[in-house]
Amino acid sequence: MFSIFDEDEANIATASWTPSVDITENDDNFTLMADIPGVDPKDIEVTMENGVLTVKGERKTEEKTEKDNYRRVERQYGMFYRRFALPETANADKIDARSDKGVLKVVIPKKEGSHARHIQVKH
């Protein structure tokens, strides 16, 4: 199972905002989906080191001028940073990451032979 580092462990890099993430698992892989609208894929970095998957990047600030008549600015800009401890069953060598329509999808295949096995309890 994935574990998410708590805030103290994850803030090695300064983060301005945190994207929402969903993590699913099936028999063959784990899938991480992160909402990162407005972030160019070239501004996203996904790394794997010592069993920890790191997703970081930056949403660039748009130029706002007085003539744009902004009344409210709620969207967050700047650096984002998330770290996830991968289970031992994850195959780090075959991780695939893609960004499409503001969603980053990271697929982490499971190692061969790492499927769950049902063990019958005898009585």
For residue 79, the SS3 value is: strand
Mean pLDDT of the chain: 83
Edge to edge, what strands does the sheet with 44-49 contain? 3-4, 78-85, 52-59, 44-49
pLDDT tens track for 42-64: 999 999 999 999 999 988 876 66
Domains of the chain: 3-64+74-109 (2.60.40.790)
Question: Which one, of 49, 39, 41, 47, lies nearest residue 17 by Cα?
Answer: 39
Confidence at residue 114, expressed as pLDDT on a 0 to 100 scale: 63
State the Cα–Cα distance between residues 27 and 29, nearest whole angstrom.
6
Positive or negative, the Cα torsion across 93, 91, 58, 9? negative
Segment of 6-20, 59-73, 76-90, 92-106 carrying the highest mean pLDDT: 92-106
State the Cα–Cα distance between residues 4 and 7, nearest whole angstrom.
9
